[in-house]
Amino acid sequence: MNKFLKYFVIICALTAVFWIGAGKIIDHGLIQLDKSRYQEWEAIAGGGINADVVILGSSRGVSGYNPQIIGEGLRKKTYNLSYDAGSFALQASKFDLYLENNKTPKIIIQNIDFTHFAANDTLIGENNMLPFRENDLFKTHFAGYENHIFEPWNLFSIKYTRNFRLIRKGLYGYFGVYDGHNLHDNGFVSKDEVFKKDQRNLVALKKTVKARKYAYLLRNVEIVKKSMVSYSIKSKVVVVWAPEYIERYALAPELHAIISEQFRTLASRYPNITFIDLSDHAMGKETVNFYDTFHLNSTGSTTFSTLLVPYLAP
C-alpha cells in the first residue's frame, strides 16, 4: 500500500504544482507582453504610471485622446486611462485603482458623450484582469460588478483552462516572443481605419431620444458630476465633450442641450472644473476623422488632441 500511496501523492503533488505553476507562468507571460492591457493593469495597480495628466473615458476616450500630443503640448506626463467599452462606474473604478499606488494627477480629463451616462454593471474585458484574479486590490474595486472571474468558486478553478488565446499569448510573453495583439500607447489606441457607418449605435441613440428616457440618464449625470466634484478637490478637472459625428449629433440636440447645461453649470460653480464642449465642432462633419459614427480614427484623434491642448494649457 505504501508504494501506491506514494505514487498517488506524487500525482496529486504534480497536479497541484502544475495547477499553480501553469497559472503563474501564464500570468507572468501576459504581464510581460509589451503595451498589452495586462501590462497596463499591472502598472495601474502597481504604481507604474504616475502621470501628471490622466484621461478618463470609454472607447471614445481610448481612441480619441492621444496622450503623446497632449503631453508634449502641456509638457506634462500624460496617460490615457480610458476604459474600452466601460461604463462611467467602471472608468471611476479603474481610476480609483490607479490612485491606490500612483500619485494624484494634476489634471484629469474626463470625456463625456451621449452614451457615457448609460449604466452598465458588467465587468467589461474581465479576461484582461485574469492575471490579477487573486489580487485584493482588483477584488476590492471590481468584484462588485457582474463578473465571472472574481466569483468565489472560480478562485479554485484553473485560471486559463481552455482559454487558448490567453495560454498562447502568455507563453509568447513568457518566452519573449512578440505578440502583436491588444497594443496601446500610454493607454491610447490609434485606429488607422477608414469610416464605416455603424447603424447599431445610431439606432440605439435614436431609440433613447424617441422614448425620451432622460430621467435615468440625468440620475447618472448627477453621479458623474459628484465624481467630478470629488476629483476636483485634489486635481484640476476638465470635462470634455469630444466632437460627435454630425449624423449622431443631429439625432439628439435636445439631449445634448440638457447634459451640456448640467456641466456648464457645474463648471461655473467649481473653479477647479472646466467644461469644454466640442461636440458640434466642424471636424465632426468630415468622415475622414472617424472610423465609425461614434469614434475618432487616428487622423481625427491627432486633429482633436492638437485642438484640445490650448484649452488645457494654464
> Which positions lie near other proteins, rule CB under 8 A?
1, 3-4, 7-8, 11, 14-15, 18-19, 22, 157-158, 160-165, 167
CB of 18 to other proteins, least distance (A): 5
CB of 1 to other proteins, least distance (A): 5
In the complex with other proteins, the residue whose CB is nearer, 7 or 216, is 7
CB of 157 to other proteins, least distance (A): 7
In the complex with other proteins, the residue whose CB is nearer, 8 or 175, is 8
**What is the Cα–Cα distance from 90 to 267, expressed in whole angstroms?**
23
What is the per-residue burial (b if ≥16 Cβ within 10 Å, else e) of 128-158? Answer: bbbbbbebeebbebbeebebebbeeeeeeee
CB of 142 to other proteins, least distance (A): 21
In the complex with other proteins, the residue whose CB is nearer, 2 or 75, is 2
101 — phi, psi (to 5°)? Answer: -130, 0
In the complex with other proteins, the residue whose CB is nearer, 10 or 250, is 10
CB of 59 to other proteins, least distance (A): 22
In the complex with other proteins, the residue whose CB is nearer, 4 or 178, is 4
CA atoms within 13 A on the CB side of 60: 26
**Residues 46/104, Cβ–Cβ less than 8 Å:** no
